Amino acid sequence: MMKDKILEVSAIKDGTVIDHIPANSLFKVISILGLDKICNKITFGTNLESKKLGQKAIIKLSDVFFFDKDINKIALVAPQAKLNIIKNYQVTEKKVVEVPDEISGIVKCMNPQCITNAEKLTTKFQVVSKKYVKLKCYYCEKITDQEHFVII
Amino acid sequence: MKGKSLVSINDYTKDEYIKILDLAEVFEKKSVQNILQGKVIASLFFEPSTRTRLSFESAVNKLGGKIIGFSDTSSSSVTKGETLYDTIKTVSNYCDLIVMRHPLEGSARFASEITNVPIINAGDGANQHPTQTLLDLYSIRKTQSTLDNLNIFMVGDLKYGRTVHSLLMAMSKFNTTYNFIAPEELKMPEEYKLFLENHGLKYYEHRDFTDIISKADIIYMTRVQKERFTDPIEYERTKNAYVLKNEFLVNTKENLRVLHPLPRVSEIEQEVDMNPKAYYFTQALNGVFIRQAIITSILGLI
């Protein structure tokens, strides 16, 4: 099992592999991490079979490494995502993402009456539940849950 | 509290509530003073209001301060499309404190981030109205001589009513027992019930006015609004079930007082106004003292 996984990611020399992304969150992950704006080599696969997720997606990024605070942002849409850090074709480190305590930007507040949807300002949330992600808006104090996430 | 905005009731600690209530008591004894002489208070009402705006303005005038501002947006640059950001930035140049009401939720928090002038939130949509909550606390303490261990009945629209939500949060610091009387469609939201459970506080839910109110120390009435119902037939069926009549108050406790944030429509029969247990108009008067206490505390004059 372990061997298969390494084989699958061995295509890149150095970089990061993000695995176990729910297939329907792939493009959200790309958008949150700004992968559509970088020039590095990127391979991704989607609608792959997964026992855990049904259908999953995977992203392989050459010469890209993330800080925890940046990669943790994807926990909102891919809470079970796993990272393999590749150096010289070897997996040197494995990481899981963790939902942060606070979120700035990324998601819109779902309350249409919220000031963040009217004026130019960055949304800010306190994470009040991590398993089923629920965000409390710092401004209007209303809850936006993961089912209603609209990525900015 | 000096220099600190009051945006949400959760911005103040229990000690700070008590400080404001104690100070309001002092102002109730002597509400005409010259403490605010030379101070300019901006009163920005992006949405109409009677009680809140007038009680703020009365509070300031009695203390010798000056008020600038607008009571609706038609007489301001908002009609020209000015953003809230620009309005607040501009008005900050002209005053020592801003009192604002705005239809969008979170607007007061946003305003407090873009200026060094302290903001008092006089209502941001359905979200917060902290000075109302403080005057409710003041009215409860004044009529019951304590805030501790009381049994509070909240009646009517418990789903959308911001005043009941804020009061519930504030009273949770005083070992309160809660009783909620509301139609199915307007029940207290789960998040607040969960909050009470997490804080080990007791609450009971009822569909109708019954003898149960004989246990109440405070009955807090709210308006049941037609537009809150998805089913108009359900509204017709329930609207009369939540109207307080004199006969309901017969077997209630001697210390019971009926509160209502006002405006009232038909949820309290006019006959109740003469009942010694009716307190809602005095409650509105208390708003002046509580606002004097808040303004002078924030400006550091006390």
Helices and strands counted in chain B (H then E):
9, 9
Statement: residue B200 has pLDDT above 70: yes
Query: For B191-203, what is the mean pLDDT?
Result: 95
Q: What is the mean pLDDT of chain B?
A: 94
Contact A113 B8 (CB under 8 A): no
Domain enclosing residue A20, as ranges: 2-96
> In one letter, which amino acid is B37?
Q
A18-32, B180-194, B225-239, range with the lowest pLDDT = B225-239
Q: Are A59 and A19 part of one and the same domain?
A: yes
Q: Are A11 and A73 part of one and the same domain?
A: yes
Q: Where in chain B is the domain with CATH 3.40.50.1370?
A: 9-128+285-298, 131-284
Q: What is the pLDDT of residue A3?
A: 53
Cite the DSSP H helix spans in chain A: 2-9, 26-32, 68-71
- How does pLDDT run across B21-41, given as a tens digit for each residue? 999 999 999 999 999 999 999
A vs B: CB pairs below 8 A: 51
Statement: residue B173 has pLDDT above 50: yes
Cα–Cα distance between A67 and B190 in angstroms, integer?
37
Q: What is the pLDDT of residue B280?
A: 97
Q: Are A61 and A136 part of one and the same domain?
A: no
- How does pLDDT run across A21-45, given as a tens digit for each residue? 999 899 999 989 999 999 999 998 9
Q: How confident is the model at residue A144 (pLDDT cuts 50, 70, 90)?
A: very high
CATH class of B131-284: alpha beta
Token pair of B283, please?
């409650």
Q: Does A88 touch chain B (CB under 8 A)?
A: no
Query: For A47-67, what is the mean pLDDT?
Result: 91
Long-range contacts of B52-57 (CB under 8 A, 24+ apart): B52/B101, B52/B122, B52/B123, B52/B129, B52/B131, B52/B132, B52/B287, B53/B101, B53/B122, B55/B284, B55/B287, B55/B288, B55/B291, B56/B99, B56/B120, B56/B122, B56/B131, B56/B291
**Cross-strand bridge partners of residue A134:** A129, A145
pTM, two decimal places: 0.86
Q: Are A24 and A64 part of one and the same domain?
A: yes
ipTM: 0.86
In B128-254, the DSSP E strands lie at 151-155, 177-181, 203-206, 218-221
* Choice among B39, B52, B141, B163 that is catalytic: B52
Task: Report the CATH number at residue A24.
Answer: 3.30.70.140
**Cross-strand bridge partners of residue B120:** B6, B99
Q: How confident is the model at residue B241 (pLDDT cuts 50, 70, 90)?
A: confident
DSSP B240-272: GGG-B-GGGGTTS-TT-EEE--S--SSSB-GGG
Statement: residue A7 has pLDDT above 60: no
User: Which residues in chain B are closer than 8 Å to A142, comparing Cβ atoms?
Assistant: 105, 127
Q: Does B125 touch chain A (CB under 8 A)?
A: yes
The DSSP code for B142 is H
In B80-125, the DSSP E strands lie at 97-102, 119-124
Statement: residue B260 has pLDDT above 90: yes
Active site residue B101: yes
Q: What is the pLDDT of residue A10?
A: 52
The DSSP H or E segment spanning B20 is helix B14-29
Statement: residue B66 has pLDDT above 60: yes
Q: Are A11 and A84 part of one and the same domain?
A: yes
User: Among B8, B127, B192, which would you mutate to test the A interface (most chain A Cβ atoms within 10 Å of its Cβ)?
Assistant: B127
Task: Report the CATH number at residue A114.
Answer: 2.30.30.20
Statement: residue B79 has pLDDT above 80: no
Are B70 and B45 in contact by the 8 Å Cβ rule? The answer is yes
Alpha-carbon distances, residue B62 vs A24, B130, B132 (angstroms): 62, 21, 19
Q: Are A119 and A78 part of one and the same domain?
A: no
Query: For B55-71, what is the mean pLDDT?
Result: 96
Alpha carbon of A7: minimum distance to chain B alpha carbons (Å): 48
Query: For A91-119, what is the mean pLDDT?
Result: 93
Q: What is the pLDDT of residue A9?
A: 45
Q: Are A21 and A82 part of one and the same domain?
A: yes
Statement: residue A145 has pLDDT above 70: yes
Q: What is the pLDDT of residue B231?
A: 83
Q: What is the pLDDT of residue B224?
A: 85
Cα–Cα distance between A127 and A137 in angstroms, integer?
9
Active site residue B51: yes
Chain CA centroid to CA B65, Å: 23
Q: What is the mean pLDDT of chain A?
A: 89
Q: What is the pLDDT of residue A12?
A: 87
Statement: residue B18 has pLDDT above 90: yes
Q: Which residue has the higher pLDDT, A1 or A89?
A: A89
Query: For B249-261, what is the mean pLDDT?
Result: 96
Percent of chain B scoring above 90 in pLDDT = 81
- What 3-state class would DSSP assign to B177? strand
Q: Are A60 and A125 part of one and the same domain?
A: no
CATH of B9-128+285-298, one of 3.40.50.1100, 3.30.70.141, 3.90.245.10, 3.40.50.1370: 3.40.50.1370
Contact A114 B105 (CB under 8 A): yes
- What 3-state class would DSSP assign to A86? strand
The DSSP H or E segment spanning A82 is strand A82-87
Contact B85 A119 (CB under 8 A): yes
Query: For B113-135, what is the mean pLDDT?
Result: 96
Q: Are A125 and A84 part of one and the same domain?
A: no
Cα–Cα distance between B267 and B248 in angstroms, integer?
13
Q: Which residue has the higher pLDDT, B302 or B174?
A: B174
Alpha-carbon distances, residue B237 vs B134, B189, B223 (angstroms): 34, 22, 15
Per-state percent for chain A, helix, strand, coil, to nearest 5: 25, 40, 40
- How does pLDDT run across B280-295, given as a tens digit for each residue? 999 999 999 999 999 9
**How many domains would you assign to chain A?**
2
Statement: residue A2 has pLDDT above 60: no
Cα–Cα distance between B212 and B225 in angstroms, integer?
24
Q: Are A27 and A88 part of one and the same domain?
A: yes
How would you list the strands of the sheet with B151-155, edge to edge?
B203-206, B177-181, B151-155, B218-221, B257-259
Q: Are A29 and A88 part of one and the same domain?
A: yes
Query: For B291-301, what is the mean pLDDT?
Result: 97
Q: Are A6 and A75 part of one and the same domain?
A: yes
Q: Does A27 touch chain B (CB under 8 A)?
A: no
Closest CB from A111, A113, A119 relative to B110: A119
Query: For A54-60, what is the mean pLDDT?
Result: 93
